[in-house]
């Protein structure tokens, strides 16, 4: 998170929000926001929000997808994670990433597996 400049900014009723700069750290070779950076923001938000809802259990990603909707060259993007499904063994989150004008940049969905306890340290 630190290397991409991701910062959590808001935790509200039913959502978690974070920002990420669009600069040399997050650009692809054409000077645009790298799709992988958008997915990293989405996974960070979805997994973190999922962990907050897991009641002390661990969550791990099963699947993530992303549709890149608009190019961004500079500034800051904001991602907002909202739950679609919170179950005992799985969670599904939608993450909308927007530019500074509030225009949609990327829409992502992540499916998480809820583990009965945090994984043991040093084990895969």
Tokens representing residue 113 in the block: 């597996």
Cβ-contact 73, 55 below 8 angstroms: no
Per the listing, tokens 């999922």 go with 50
The number of C-alpha atoms within 13 Å of 75 and in the hemisphere containing its C-beta is 12
Taking the mean position of all CA atoms in its chain, how far away is CA 91? 14
Q: Tell me the catalytic residues.
A: 43
Question: What are the start-end ranges of the H helices in the chain?
Answer: 35-53
Cβ-contact 82, 60 below 8 angstroms: no
């Amino acid at each position: 998170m630190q290397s991409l400049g991701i910062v959590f900014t808001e935790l509200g009723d039913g959502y978690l929000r974070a920002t990420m700069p669009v600069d040399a750290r997050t650009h692809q070779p054409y000077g645009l926001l790298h799709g992988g950076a958008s997915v990293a923001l989405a996974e960070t938000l979805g997994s973190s929000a999922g962990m907050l809802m897991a009641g002390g259990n661990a969550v791990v990603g099963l699947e993530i997808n992303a549709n890149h909707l608009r190019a961004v060259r500079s500034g800051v993007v904001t991602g907002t994670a909202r739950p679609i499904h919170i179950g005992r063994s799985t969670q599904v989150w939608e993450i909308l990433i927007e530019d500074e004008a509030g225009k949609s940049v990327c829409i992502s969905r992540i499916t998480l597996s809820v583990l009965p306890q945090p994984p043991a340290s040093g084990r895969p």
